[in-house]
Amino acid sequence: MAGKAMPSPSPKVGLSAKAEYRRLLFDPCAADLVEPPYLGNESGFLLRTRDVIVPVYLGTSLTAGNYDYFLQWSPGNLGPTGAGTNYGIITGGAAPNAAGALIAGYKSTGTAQINFINSASTPVQAYRVVACCVKFIPTGPPLSRQGMVALCNFPSPALTTASTPTFGDLETICPHPVNNGSEPHEIVWLPGTADQAFGALEASTLDPGFGTLCAALGSVDSTVNAGGTIATPNGRFEITTVWQWAPQAKGGVIQTISAPPKHTVNDVLAEVIDLGSKIYTGAKKVERGVVAVAHLLGKVL
């Protein structure tokens, strides 16, 4: 209307760089991709992948029933396709509370290829992990679900192919074992001391200091093949990982150098109240709390 001033638009409330990274760390599946506050001036391309993993228990004369399964995801230790001692992804199975037989990779034959990062034709020269989560999704009928699910977060890899863990071993050190299907089974990864540096795919080296997620299924309802040699859980693991990667030199892509952020990973994690429970509750509760505090303080995140 002529002669009447239009109201000024409301300022857009946005997240600070620190809050954006925190949101990605606790919601790797959906949050915007942002650079991690790691040490150094390296940079790279950001990429989100999702892998579906079904562990197996290999045996003889297996019968229908419940079995145990194990998964370890240490993305910083990921090896190239076909690596027989790939510590990035380890799976296995066992009879209920018996010692597990672990393989590098997954499926009945074991396979180390996971996704774009370590495929046979990958253009990746070096990489590092930005964020990650592991979910177990039961697929059997709700009234038929049995057993326990234990999810653990470790500062370094806990299992190798020579390990013979039982479900009880991991259940006792997991702070949150629950009944299969009683709640969403999800845990988020936290960066270890070694995760801040770019590294190449490792064929057979077990490097400490890489953040690691372990999962154990105890006596869960399972399906056995007709030959009685392979048992699989009535469910699947979904692994969502955000990577930062640098291409091989022969691709002609210029490597970008960027100034490090003003905050560190420790600065971000130090502001998360009750971090030990937040790795299970995920992004929604974290961000609700952060936004609520910001409104009370009148601050823009």
**Chain-wide mean pLDDT for the chain?**
83
Is residue 130 over pLDDT 90? yes
- With respect to residue 123, please indicate whether it lies within any of the assigned structural domains: yes
Q: What is the CATH number of the domain that holds 195?
A: 2.60.120
The confidence score (pLDDT) of residue 67 equals: 97
In terms of pLDDT, which residue wins out, 84 or 166?
166
- Exposure of 293 in the CB half-sphere (CA atoms within 13 A): 11
User: Looking at the structure, do residues 149 and 222 belong to the same domain, yes or no?
Assistant: yes
Among 39-43, 216-220, 226-230, whose mean pLDDT is lowest? 39-43
Is residue 150 located within the same domain as residue 202? Answer: yes
Residues 155, 29, single domain; the answer is: no
Residues 63 and 198 in one domain: yes
**Same structural domain, 215 and 301:** no
Quote the tokens at residue 155: 């500062």
Q: What are phi and psi of 86, to 5 degrees?
A: -75, 110
AA identity, residue 270: A
Is 164 a member of any domain? yes
> Does the pLDDT of residue 257 top 60, yes or no?
yes
Domains: count for the chain: 2
The answer to whether 147 touches 269, Cβ cutoff 8 Å, is no
Residues of the domain holding 32: 11-37+262-301
107 located within any domain: yes
Percent with pLDDT over 90 in the chain: 49
The verdict on 32 and 133 lying in the same domain is no
Q: What pLDDT shows up at residue 290?
A: 46
Tell whether 77 is covered by a domain.
yes
Residues 229 and 292 occupy one common structural domain: no
The reply to whether 6 falls in a domain is no
Which one has a higher pLDDT value, 9 or 215?
215
Find, among 301, 241, 243, the residue nearest to 271 by Cα: 301
Q: What DSSP string runs through 188-237?
A: E----TTTTS-B---SS---TT--EEEEEEEEEEEEE-TTS-EEEESEEE
Higher pLDDT residue, 225 or 293? 225
* Higher-pLDDT residue of 284, 244: 244
